[in-house]
């Protein structure tokens, strides 16, 4: 579970890399995730993962490449769930370090809002998000005690399909769908966690 908040104030605002200047506003990020697994036999488990993330950005004013922008609001919420199957490979003949390979079937749904306030009310876009994927996630478990371990994993192979449907107050509705296959470690999908075994 994690939460972070960023607040930009002051008469001149905040500069970001010298490209985005005079930023005034707030950013709030929240995410929570949990998982559980049942061992069918030694070193083989099946489980469930669920997670939720929420991002809210309120920009009072900013300047990007000489263009001024005011009163912009962004909201993104995503709910994700996975079914997993994991095979462990213990090292050193004991519960100290174990490699694992996890197959994961994942689905997610959510939305993205981008709007500002006008005399007619809120105007902007609403985008519905969705995806389904199947992937292989190798990792390592390091036991701190007999029942507590730290886990680290990252995506190695993923394939799936995503779809986005957008509606706007200024443009006609649109959609964007695409399939994908990735075969390389992805540091952007790096996961770490604390696990209790009982």
Residue 65: the pLDDT is 64
Question: Hey, how many other C-beta atoms are within 10 angstroms of the C-beta on 135?
Answer: 19
Domain locations along the chain: 32-196
**Residue among 38, 51, 110 at smallest CA distance from 81:** 51
> From start to end of the chain, where are the E strands?
2-8, 14-16, 20-41, 44-64, 67-91, 97-118, 121-143, 148-153, 157-168, 174-183, 191-196
- Condensed to tens digits (0 to 9), the pLDDT of residues 139-153 reads 999 999 888 999 999
Structure tokens at 1: 């579970």
In order along the chain (198 residues), what is the average pLDDT of each group of 10 residues?
Answer: 84 62 83 94 95 91 70 92 95 85 96 86 88 96 91 93 85 83 84 88
Q: Are 54 and 8 in contact (CB under 8 A)?
A: no
Burial of 20 from C-beta contacts in 10 A (0-12 / 13-18 / 19+)? middle
The pLDDT value recorded for residue 100 is 95
Say if residues 141 and 153 touch (Cβ distance below 8 Å): no
- Provide the 3-class DSSP secondary structure of residue 71: strand
The CATH number of domain 32-196 is 1.20.1250: no
Count Cα atoms within 13 angstroms, Cβ side, for 60.
Answer: 13
Tokens of residue 40, six digits = 């069918």
């Amino acid at each position: 579970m994690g939460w972070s908040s960023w607040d930009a104030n002051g008469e001149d605002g905040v500069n970001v890399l010298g490209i985005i200047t005079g930023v005034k506003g707030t950013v709030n990020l929240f995410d929570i995730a949990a998982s559980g697994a049942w061992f069918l036999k030694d070193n083989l488990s099946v489980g469930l993962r669920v997670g939720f993330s929420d991002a809210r950005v309120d920009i009072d004013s900013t300047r990007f490449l000489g263009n001024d922008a005011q009163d912009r609001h962004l909201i993104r919420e995503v709910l994700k769930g996975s079914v997993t199957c994991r095979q462990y490979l213990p090292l050193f003949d004991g519960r100290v370090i174990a490699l694992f390979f996890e197959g994961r079937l994942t689905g997610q749904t959510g939305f993205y809002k981008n709007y500002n306030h006008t005399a007619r009310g809120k105007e902007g876009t609403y985008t519905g998000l969705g995806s389904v994927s199947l992937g292989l996630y190798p990792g390592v478990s390091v036991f701190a005690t007999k029942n507590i371990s730290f886990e680290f994993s990252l995506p190695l192979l993923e394939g799936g399909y995503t779809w986005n449907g957008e509606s706007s107050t200024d443009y006609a509705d649109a959609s964007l769908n695409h399939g994908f296959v990735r075969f390389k470690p992805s540091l952007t999908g790096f996961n770490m966690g604390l696990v209790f075994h009982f």
